[in-house]
């Protein structure tokens, strides 16, 4: 028998509550003279039905672990979310906060930000990413449930995502929903605000697919509500979606009217333009709404108190389940406590016995070291964009994550780089899980938007990129990264590591595992590179003396694959009477976090050369001469490509000698 999910009967004040959400939203937008009233007026019944009847949240404790997750993928509708949280009794937001909508320093920014307002699960705005993050949240719920639901339904919640036509048109959405159907994430429910209007006009001017057939082809349940103003019908559809445990996620298409009640309803004019005072008064008349601006009627407060009552009961049940877990399995309980606080295991001693080969690729070495972390952290997910055989980022002793094996740690993302990174963000945002994803460095451009959103959101997502330079050779310029490393370093609140040896790989891993509020990118080599030891304590500083020479005349900065090259050049320069100290900058971001005194011992005023097979311009912050590549690569054998660009050790040494002689003059 299918489980039934009843929903409360709506009161005579249902319409008043919905219109309160509408007017609070459009009044905040009007006061800011900026925002998107169309979705607020059209989708308010969806939000009311979800929050009043279904979602399990505690407005007084919005972070309890087993809460339902809600994502507003259509992040431009932030005023709708803020108004809903306010009428639902969330203590994290006040009427004054709503009045400061889109103002500097407010808790109600133009698009929802998880780091600003409790009740916002993930930051959204770039369309489509919210749906992909919803998929990640659902994956996390599934694997954590499989781990902890040994005695009771301990981790057992739904993920709801509200989105519109713009989100559905984004390619990242198509990638994400295809994977969600494949993985059979049946506790993921999408709420589609289907109004057939977007900013430039009607949706059918650019899009003509059949939504039902599209989702059915991806193995989703499809439900439809023809009247988006009928809260009862919406609530029944959500209840049905929760009862359809057939190993398929569900989409509910709700036919709404954009800008409902305003003079511009049903047109693109109301999408992103605030209503004037006269137009809001006209809206009030049309909706028969008489409550003064920025006020909530007592009957609405009483009605929406159901959100807290239901959420409080749900949380108490969770706490009882937690007590039961503690009494029956103390080890599992203690593990939950750590994971719920995002405390993951890491111990440098794990790697003591690991011996790298004299010449090896850092992709292979990093993969070997990663296994220790994955074995000790069984809620770490890992996967690649169909490149596991090349990046080596996999759990060698685990199984795939499927509907039958929710404890599998390997996710087959398919060739879906953008969705992969966005799903990673969702898994990370859930709590209790982490995800490590990988592809070729050159394809980081496909998922950079998700990396940026992770940095904005303080999400410690982990992304690994192999095939780090033009030394991939035969694949040619389309696969040879040139500008990717510098462009990734430009992302604020983001740490990039380019390790050269075992020590630097461990440093990168440790930072990634222990990070709590910033994403980590790790770049590995395809080709084998000579291995040199370096002290762990120095490598932890991000930039340090890799090779010391007495009375050095110049510094040579290098990273990752270019460290052995710099070492060889340093030795050759001695024959020319030039003492060259080698500096490893395994992480510029870590280096910049060091004290001014320390940094002055590294960038010490001596003539400095940088060597990195990437765009040279950013290196002039540290170097007087930057050696790299400022054009696209070539197709050919790796050594031939290196020689073509005059990046062999003898050519570089010759450039340095000539430069240093002129520098002395």
**pLDDT value at position 253?**
98
Alpha-carbon distances, residue 105 vs 25, 97, 117, 274 (angstroms): 19, 10, 12, 21
Q: Is 417 a catalytic residue?
A: yes
- Per-residue pLDDT of 452-505, as tens digits, reads 999 999 999 999 999 999 988 788 999 999 999 999 999 999 999 999 999 999
**pLDDT value at position 1?**
30
Query: How many CB atoms sit inside 10 A of residue 30's CB?
Result: 19
Q: What is the DSSP string of 497-562?
A: E---SHHHHHHHHHHHHH-SSS-EEEE--SS-EE-----HHHHTTSSEEEE--TT-SEEEEE-GGG
**pLDDT value at position 2?**
38
Reduced to 3 states, what is the DSSP secondary structure of residue 6?
Answer: coil
Alpha-carbon distances, residue 149 vs 66, 142, 154 (angstroms): 12, 10, 5
H helix or E strand, kind and range, residue 569: helix 563-574
Instruction: Give the integer Cα–Cα distance in Å for 165 and 204.
Output: 10
**pLDDT value at position 8?**
58
Query: How many CB atoms sit inside 10 A of residue 97's CB?
Result: 19
Alpha-carbon distances, residue 447 vs 170, 178, 250, 402, 488 (angstroms): 13, 17, 26, 24, 11
SS3 track for 303-328:
HHHHHHHHHHHHHHHHHHHHHHHHHH
Here the tokens at position 157 are: 């919640």
Instruction: Give the integer Cα–Cα distance in Å for 609 and 627.
Output: 7
Backbone torsions φ then ψ of 559, nearest 5 degrees: -140, 150
Considering only CA atoms, which of 367, 391, 359 is closest in space to residue 528? 359
Instruction: Give the integer Cα–Cα distance in Å for 504 and 587.
Output: 9
Per annotation, catalytic residue among 141, 417, 480, 504? 417
- Per-residue pLDDT of 395-444, as tens digits, reads 999 999 999 999 999 999 999 999 999 999 999 999 999 999 999 999 99
Q: How would you classify the pairing of strands 529-530 and 359-360?
A: antiparallel
Query: How many CB atoms sit inside 10 A of residue 353's CB?
Result: 7
0.75 surpassed by pTM: yes
Instruction: Give the integer Cα–Cα distance in Å for 219 and 207.
Output: 21
Q: Which ranges of the chain have pLDDT less than 50? A: 1-4
Instruction: Give the integer Cα–Cα distance in Å for 612 and 620.
Output: 12
Reduced to 3 states, what is the DSSP secondary structure of residue 588?
Answer: helix
- Start-to-end C-alpha separation, the chain: 88
Q: Which residue has the tokens 């949706």?
A: 203
Instruction: Give the integer Cα–Cα distance in Å for 474 and 506.
Output: 30
Here the tokens at position 87 are: 């009428």
Question: Is the separation of the CB atoms in 464 and 525 below 8 Å?
Answer: no
Query: How many CB atoms sit inside 10 A of residue 226's CB?
Result: 9
Backbone torsions φ then ψ of 611, nearest 5 degrees: -130, 110
């Amino acid at each position: 028998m299918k489980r039934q999910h009843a929903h409360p009967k709506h009161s005579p004040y249902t319409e008043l509550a919905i219109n309160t959400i509408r007017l609070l939203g459009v009044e905040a937008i009007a006061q800011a003279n900026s925002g998107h009233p169309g979705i607020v007026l059209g989708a308010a019944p969806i939000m009311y039905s979800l929050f009043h009847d279904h979602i399990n949240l505690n407005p007084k404790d919005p972070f309890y672990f087993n809460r339902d997750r809600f994502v507003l993928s259509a992040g431009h509708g932030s005023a709708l979310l803020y108004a809903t949280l306010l009428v639902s009794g969330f203590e994290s937001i006040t009427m004054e906060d709503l009045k400061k909508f889109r103002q500097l320093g407010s808790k109600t920014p133009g698009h929802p930000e998880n780091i600003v307002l409790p009740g916002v699960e993930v930051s959204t705005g770039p369309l489509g990413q919210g749906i992909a993050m919803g998929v990640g949240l659902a994956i996390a719920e599934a694997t954590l449930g499989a781990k902890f639901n040994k005695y009771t339904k301990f981790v057992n919640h739904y993920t709801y995502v509200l989105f519109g036509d713009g989100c559905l048109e984004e390619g990242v959405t198509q990638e994400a929903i295809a994977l969600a159907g494949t993985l059979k994430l049946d506790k993921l429910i999408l709420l589609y605000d289907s109004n057939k209007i977007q900013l430039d006009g009607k949706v059918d001017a650019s899009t003509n697919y059949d939504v039902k057939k599209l989702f059915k082809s991806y193995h989703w349940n499809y439900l439809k509500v023809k009247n988006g103003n009928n809260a009862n019908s919406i609530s029944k559809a959500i209840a049905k979606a929760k009862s359809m445990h057939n190993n398929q996620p569900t989409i509910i298409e709700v036919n709404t009217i954009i800008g409902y009640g305003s003079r511009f309803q049903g047109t693109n004019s109301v999408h992103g333009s605030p209503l004037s005072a006269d137009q809001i008064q006209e809206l009030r008349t049309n909706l028969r709404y008489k409550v003064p601006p920025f006020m909530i009627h007592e009957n609405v407060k009483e009605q929406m108190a159901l959100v807290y009552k239901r959420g409080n009961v749900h949380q108490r049940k969770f706490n009882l389940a937690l007590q039961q877990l503690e009494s029956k399995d103390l080890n599992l309980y203690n593990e939950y406590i750590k994971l719920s606080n995002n405390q993951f295991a890491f111990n440098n001693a794990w790697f003591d016995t690991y011996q790298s080969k004299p010449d090896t690729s850092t992709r292979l070495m990093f993969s070997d070291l990663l296994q220790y972390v994955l074995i000790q952290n069984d809620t770490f997910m890992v996967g690649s964009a169909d490149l596991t055989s090349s990046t080596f980022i996999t759990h060698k002793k685990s199984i795939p994550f499927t509907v039958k094996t929710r404890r599998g740690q390997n996710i087959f993302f398919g060739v879906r780089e953008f969705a992969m990174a966005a799903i990673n963000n969702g898994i990370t945002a859930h709590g209790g899980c982490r995800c490590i994803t990988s592809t070729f460095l050159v394809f980081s451009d496909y998922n950079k938007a998700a990396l940026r959103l992770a940095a904005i959101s303080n999400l410690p997502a982990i992304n690994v990129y192999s095939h780090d330079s033009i030394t991939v050779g035969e694949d040619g310029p389309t696969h040879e990264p040139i500008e990717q490393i510098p462009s990734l370093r430009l992302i604020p609140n983001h740490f990039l590591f380019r390790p050269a040896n075992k020590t630097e790989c461990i440093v990168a891993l440790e930072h990634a595992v222990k990070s709590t509020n910033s994403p980590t990118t790790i770049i590995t080599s395809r080709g084998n590179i000579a291995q040199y030891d370096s002290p762990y304590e120095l490598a932890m500083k991000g930039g340090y003396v890799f090779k010391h020479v007495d009375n050095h005349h110049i510094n040579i900065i290098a990273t990752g694959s270019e460290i052995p090259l710099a070492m060889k050049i340093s030795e050759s320069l001695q024959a020319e009477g030039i003492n060259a100290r080698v500096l490893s900058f395994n992480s510029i971001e870590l280096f910049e976090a060091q004290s001014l005194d320390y940094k002055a011992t590294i960038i010490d005023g001596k003539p400095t050369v940088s060597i990195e097979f990437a765009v040279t311009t950013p290196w002039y912050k540290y170097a007087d001469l930057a050696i790299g590549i400022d054009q696209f690569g070539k197709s050919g054998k790796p050594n031939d490509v290196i020689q073509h660009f005059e990046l062999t050790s003898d050519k570089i040494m010759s450039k340095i000698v000539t430069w240093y002689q002129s520098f002395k003059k």
